[in-house]
Amino acid sequence: MTSYTFTRELRLLTPAQFKSVFTKPIKASSAEITLLAIPNSEQHPRLGLTVAKRYVKKAHQRNKIKRIIRDNFRLHQHDLPAVDIVVLVRNGVLDMENAELKKLVEKLWRKLSRRYNG
């Protein structure tokens, strides 16, 4: 049976893991969100999130954005290649509805998969 959990193995945990993604990444981006990815040696994708205080001032808003993206990753992890992904959130994401944000993130997952495989 397919597992849809978001365990520790599916996260980028250390600064070194984050830093490695910034060297020659595969990109998929929109005006509000950028995904950076590099192939990893695991059998599954891993996710790291950065929501800057500069763009999203209040902690509960940053947490909401991270929760939506994390949940979306959890549901789509089996469609993604074995890559380390860092999600960078920029200005304008606060103006989006939750459903709109989910749709955008799903579109970016697909774009990233195509760029990685194609």
Q: Mean pLDDT per segment of 10 residues, for the chain of length 118 residues?
A: 80 93 93 95 93 94 95 93 94 92 95 87
Q: Give the pLDDT of residue 55.
A: 92
Contact by Cβ (8 Å): 38, 21: yes
Q: Give the pLDDT of residue 118.
A: 65
Q: Give the pLDDT of residue 3.
A: 77
Q: Give the pLDDT of residue 7.
A: 81
